């Protein structure tokens, strides 16, 4: 079974991210996953329930999404919950977080050919409940090659040690679900992580990251999985006002469906 090298484990703990350019499964499995992935987006799976929405736009009906995202994609494409890739990733997560660590399929972010928007600099924890502290990581797996041109991930080394920096809905537009950091001066020495299909990156809950727009004429598909240890109550108080101001069409659909 494919494992992380000792250098990769050390690099992750030191920098808050690591890039694993060796595919975690074979081409046939990646092709099957890609088919399931495309079907899900073509059918607009989860739109009614609020699980599918535009991360970077106002997401009103009839608009073309610039950065469509699906939460819990395995609900709509159960194939994604099976396969060799999950066994390999689970083993790697246990190397990083200990024998209790499991792995789950979290979401899918699609950058359409030619017009897929950038995913601005952010820390994932900024989206979550401020009353907890987290010790977890996201795994980002492209289902075709990911390059600087089509929107591979970039990381700010060492940013996993930061507190959560100020964020806002993208462009300050409260109709938009996606968040962006407002202190870009903090991002230094960003590292791009191009990958082949089926390669992965791991990044911590506070690691600042970014993905560029898709300037190519083919779609960029990324599957994001989660792993880590359980959450604990946050010691002290903090608030994430950027989530409280949001008024998204997605939340409205979720409310109407529930």
Our CB check for Ni ion shows the closer of 51 and 124 to be: 124
Our CB check for Ni ion shows the closer of 100 and 221 to be: 221
Our CB check for Ni ion shows the closer of 47 and 167 to be: 167
Closest CA to 68 of 46, 91, 52, 85: 52
Stretch in the footprint of Ni ion (CB under 5 A) among 118-126, 156-164, 173-181, 182-190: 118-126
Our CB check for Ni ion shows the closer of 93 and 109 to be: 109
Stretch in the footprint of Ni ion (CB under 5 A) among 71-79, 100-108, 123-131, 140-148: 123-131
By CB under 5 A, tell whether 125 contacts Ni ion: no
Least distance (Å) from Ni ion to the CB of residue 209? 6
Kindly list the distances between the CA atom of residue 203 and the CA atoms of 20, 28, 95, 169, 215, in Å, as whole numbers in the listed order.
Answer: 11, 26, 14, 22, 24
Least distance (Å) from Ni ion to the CB of residue 15? 16
Stretch in the footprint of Ni ion (CB under 5 A) among 7-15, 18-26, 120-128, 249-257: 120-128
Find the distance separating the first CA and the last CA of the chain, reported in whole Å.
42
Beta strands at 200-204 and 132-142: parallel, antiparallel or unpaired? antiparallel
Closest CA to 181 of 194, 173, 169: 169
Stretch in the footprint of Ni ion (CB under 5 A) among 58-66, 84-92, 122-130, 229-237: 122-130
Q: Is 128 helix (H, G, I), strand (E, B) or coil?
A: coil
Contact, 202 vs 138, CB < 8 A?
yes
Residue 50 in tokens: 């609020």
Least distance (Å) from Ni ion to the CB of residue 39? 24
* Four-CA torsion 238, 240, 245, 246, nearest 10 degrees: -150
By CB under 5 A, tell whether 59 contacts Ni ion: no
**In whole angstroms, what is the distance from residue 191 CA to residue 201 CA?**
12
Least distance (Å) from Ni ion to the CB of residue 217? 25
Least distance (Å) from Ni ion to the CB of residue 250? 17
- Scanning residues 155 to 174, which ones bind Ni ion (CB under 5 A)? none
Least distance (Å) from Ni ion to the CB of residue 154? 11
Our CB check for Ni ion shows the closer of 54 and 124 to be: 124
By CB under 5 A, tell whether 124 contacts Ni ion: yes
Q: In which residue are the tokens 């789950």 written?
A: 104
Our CB check for Ni ion shows the closer of 83 and 158 to be: 158
Residue 241 in tokens: 């006002």
Least distance (Å) from Ni ion to the CB of residue 198? 20
**In whole angstroms, what is the distance from residue 167 CA to residue 115 CA?**
24
DSSP state of 101: -
Q: Which residues bind Ni ion (CB under 5 A)?
A: 124
């Amino acid at each position: 079974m494919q494992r992380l090298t000792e250098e990769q484990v050390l690099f992750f703990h030191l920098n808050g991210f690591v890039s694993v350019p060796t595919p975690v499964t074979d081409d046939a499995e990646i092709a099957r996953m890609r088919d399931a992935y495309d079907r899900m987006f073509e059918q607009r799976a989860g739109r009614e329930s609020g699980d599918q929405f535009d991360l970077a736009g106002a997401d009103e009906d009839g608009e073309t999404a610039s950065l469509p995202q699906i939460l819990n994609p395995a609900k709509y494409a159960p194939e994604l919950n099976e396969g060799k890739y999950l066994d390999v990733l689970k083993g790697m997560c246990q190397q990083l977080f200990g024998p209790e660590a499991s792995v789950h399929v979290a979401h899918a972010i699609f950058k359409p050919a030619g017009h897929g928007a950038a995913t601005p600099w952010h820390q994932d924890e900024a989206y979550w409940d401020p009353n907890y502290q987290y010790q977890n990581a996201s795994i980002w797996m492209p289902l075709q090659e990911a390059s600087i041109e089509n929107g591979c991930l970039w990381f700010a080394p060492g940013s996993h040690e930061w507190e959560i920096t100020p964020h806002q809905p993208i462009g300050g537009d409260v109709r938009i679900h996606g968040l962006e950091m407002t202190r870009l001066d903090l991002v230094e020495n960003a590292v791009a992580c191009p990958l082949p299909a089926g390669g992965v990156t791991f990044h911590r809950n506070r690691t600042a990251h970014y993905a560029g727009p898709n300037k190519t004429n083919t779609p960029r598909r990324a599957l994001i999985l989660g792993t880590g240890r359980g959450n604990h109550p946050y010691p002290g108080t903090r608030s994430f006002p950027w989530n409280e101001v949001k008024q998204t069409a997605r939340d409205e659909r979720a409310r109407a469906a529930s």
